[in-house]
A = this chain, B = another copy of it.
Amino acid sequence: MLNLLNNHRTIRKYTAQPIENELLQNLLKASCRASNTGNMQAYSIVVTTDQTIKEELAPAHFNQSMLTQAPVVLTFCADFNRFTQWCSLRNADPGYDNFQSFMATTIDALIAAQTFCIAAESVGLGICYLGTTTYNAQPIIDALQLPKLVVPITTITVGYPDGEFPQTDRLPLEAVVHYEKYNQFSENAIDSMYHEKENSEFYKQFIAENGKETLAQVFTDVRYTRTANELFSEKFLDVLRKQGFMK
């Protein structure tokens, strides 16, 4: 089991082999057994296999090829719609149109998403998370017809891996794990944690290809820029207001 987790790699290319419906159902069932807030099961999973709908979703994900190439695309959503509807039908006054409720359902959607990924990997499937979901939530809402109190949080493409894929590097554990209290790093500690990454041939080439001086600049100037982050922040907050989570 730890071997499975330690062997994780993102799979961006899939064979033509479809995922059998019974297998998909079993993976979804296992995902829905994971922990969730107050057992409200306030989240939802939209399964897309129809090629036309995948193509409708594609521009929101900047036309990344995984989306139209994968046999199955899953959009995990924060969802207080069904629970609110149930409360209204049961003489109860639902108060889930606020940011705290959004956080609870977001947490639950992600717990289910990662459970799905591990379940899928355990049967030989490969997955890829698409971080574009919160950038362009509105066109995804339109394509999947998500009602109020439903917001897409993450998207996973799933299929049988086509080929071998390398494992990406990780920082030493102490970059992420703190003991008892938070450890604010010294400059030396940062240098030491990033030493291996910054001195690898892979990243040296990556920096050169991007025409930058440092690896950090590839992130700040090319991949995750302030301008894009601020634009997508505004857009996502607008979506939260419009979908009814900011009362």
Q: Which residue of B lies closest to A26 (CB)?
A: B2
Kindly state whether residue A146 has any CB partner on chain B within 8 Å: yes
* Contacting pair B227 A170 (CB below 8 A): no
Given contacts A8-B35, A85-B185, A122-B1, contact A96 B224 (CB under 8 A): yes
Kindly state whether residue A223 has any CB partner on chain B within 8 Å: yes
As a 0/1 sequence over residues 183 to 224 of chain A, the CB contacts with chain B under 8 angstroms (1 = contact) are 011010011001000000000000000000111110111011
As a 0/1 sequence over residues 108 to 146 of chain A, the CB contacts with chain B under 8 angstroms (1 = contact) are 001111110111001100011101001100000001111
* Contacting pair A229 B33 (CB below 8 A): no
Chain A residues with a Cβ under 8 A of chain B: 1-2, 4-6, 8, 10, 25-35, 37-41, 43-50, 53, 81-83, 85-87, 89-96, 98-101, 103-104, 106-107, 110-115, 117-119, 122-123, 127-129, 131, 134-135, 143-147, 150, 153-154, 168-171, 173, 175-182, 184-185, 187, 190-191, 194, 213-217, 219-221, 223-227, 229-230, 232-233, 236-237, 247
Which residues on B sit within 8 Å (CB–CB) of A92?
214, 216-217, 219-221
State the main secondary structure of chain A at its contact with B. helix
Question: What is the CA–CA distance of A44 and B181 in the complex, to the nearest angstrom?
Answer: 11
Task: Tell me the number of copies of this protein.
Answer: 2
Question: What is the CA–CA distance of A192 and B145 in the complex, to the nearest angstrom?
Answer: 23
* Contacting pair A35 B187 (CB below 8 A): no
Which residues on B sit within 8 Å (CB–CB) of A175?
41, 82
Question: What is the CA–CA distance of A153 and B106 in the complex, to the nearest angstrom?
Answer: 11
Closest 3 CB pairs between A and B?
Answer: A95-B226, A1-B122, A90-B216
* Contacting pair A45 B178 (CB below 8 A): yes
* Contacting pair A1 B1 (CB below 8 A): yes
* Contacting pair A220 B184 (CB below 8 A): no
Question: What is the CA–CA distance of A28 and B177 in the complex, to the nearest angstrom?
Answer: 8
Which residues on B sit within 8 Å (CB–CB) of A214?
90-92
Within the complex, the shortest CB–CB distance from A79 to chain B, in Å, comes to 8
Q: Which of B93, B114, B170 contacts A111 (CB 8 A)?
A: B114
Within the complex, the shortest CB–CB distance from A4 to chain B, in Å, comes to 7
Question: What is the CA–CA distance of A98 and B119 in the complex, to the nearest angstrom?
Answer: 33
Question: What is the CA–CA distance of A115 and B43 in the complex, to the nearest angstrom?
Answer: 19
